[in-house]
Amino acid sequence: MKTTFIAQSLTAIGLLAMSAVAQAQTTDRVYVIDQRGEVARSGTGLCWRTGFWTPAAAATDPAGCSCDKDLLPKEKCEPAAATPAAAAPAAKAITIASKELFDYNKAVLTPAGKAAIDREVFGKLKDAGPVKSVLVTGHTDRLGSQQYNQKLSEKRAEVVKGYLVSKGMAANKIETLGADKTQPATGVPKCEDSLPKKQLVECLAPHRRVTIDVTAEPK
């Protein structure tokens, strides 16, 4: 009699559990969902499957990869490799002393100046991709009037641009700027105004320059 009562009790508990699971299973999931909204599992951790289960259906079920990963296509359960981010455009700042490009107080490129641009600009860009933008800036020393130096720095920048264009650079990618004496070179000896004129001009040579800032795509 006692044994019969225990058996009937266990049966009732099992029916209640199955009823609870059935009530929780409100959609055609391929795995049994319990009252907590989670996949019901056996004592060994295996997922309980419903009659809707097939490998193809499991591949579309939210719990498919956690329950049957070994049976599903690899690409379904493993995230795709991230696409490498595109490399940022490379920037090159090139400075060429004016005395390598122009005669003193002139704005006509010398043969040596053209060779310097070929070497310092095109030579350094041969391993780069397409040029995105170029800024050519002319600089002067502090001697002379602001108006004269401004015009000279602008003209020299334009002359360098013209040479870059003649060598194949797109004119619409090149901007020019005349900086006059507003951006003196740094890290160079200080030049006293008391120096004889010739020595002062020579001392101030590092300030007379053209900078070419190039941004190019990685190759």
- pLDDT tens figures, 154-212: 999 999 999 999 999 999 999 999 999 999 999 999 999 999 999 999 999 999 999 99
201 is in which domain, residue-wise? 90-216
Distance CA 206, CA 202 (A): 9
Does one domain contain both 101 and 6? no
Amino acid identity, position 1: M
Residue 118 lies in a domain: yes
Does one domain contain both 127 and 24? no
Instruction: Please identify, among 77, 111, 139, the residue that sits at the C-terminal boundary of a domain.
Output: 77
pLDDT of res. 176 = 97
pLDDT of res. 204 = 94
Residue 4 DSSP symbol: H
Amino acid identity, position 129: G
Residue 85 lies in a domain: no
Does one domain contain both 31 and 72? yes
Do residues 134 and 184 touch, judged by C-beta distance below 8 A?
Answer: no
DSSP secondary structure string for all residues of 177-208: EE-TTSS--SSS----TTS-HHHHHHHTGGGS
Residue 208 lies in a domain: yes
Does one domain contain both 28 and 108? no
Q: What is the count of structural domains for the chain?
A: 2
pLDDT of res. 142 = 94
Does one domain contain both 162 and 196? yes
Does one domain contain both 68 and 107? no
Do residues 215 and 89 touch, judged by C-beta distance below 8 A?
Answer: yes
Residue 179 lies in a domain: yes
Q: Phi and psi for 173 in degrees, rounded to 5?
A: -100, 0
- pLDDT tens figures, 95-153: 999 889 998 899 999 999 999 999 999 998 888 888 999 999 999 999 999 999 999 99
For residue 206, the domain's CATH number is: 3.30.1330.60
Find the DSSP H helices in 82-218: 98-101, 111-117, 123-125, 146-166, 197-203
What are the C-alpha distances in Å from 65 to residues 44, 79, 114, 130, 131?
A: 17, 12, 65, 45, 47
Question: 6 pLDDT exceeds 60?
Answer: no
Does one domain contain both 11 and 42? yes
Does one domain contain both 211 and 106? yes
Does one domain contain both 23 and 71? yes
Residue 63 lies in a domain: yes
> Which candidate, 119, 125, 117, places its Cα nearest to that of 159?
117
Question: 28 pLDDT exceeds 80?
Answer: no
Instruction: Please identify, among 77, 100, 130, the residue that sits at the C-terminal boundary of a domain.
Output: 77
Question: 8 pLDDT exceeds 60?
Answer: no
Does one domain contain both 102 and 209? yes
> Which candidate, 39, 44, 43, 41, places its Cα nearest to that of 27?
39
Mean pLDDT of 30-51: 88
Residue 83 lies in a domain: no
Does one domain contain both 189 and 119? yes
**CB < 8 Å & 24+ apart, contacts of 113-120:** 114/163, 117/160, 117/163, 117/164, 117/167, 118/167, 120/94, 120/96, 120/212
pLDDT of res. 12 = 46
Question: 2 pLDDT exceeds 50?
Answer: no
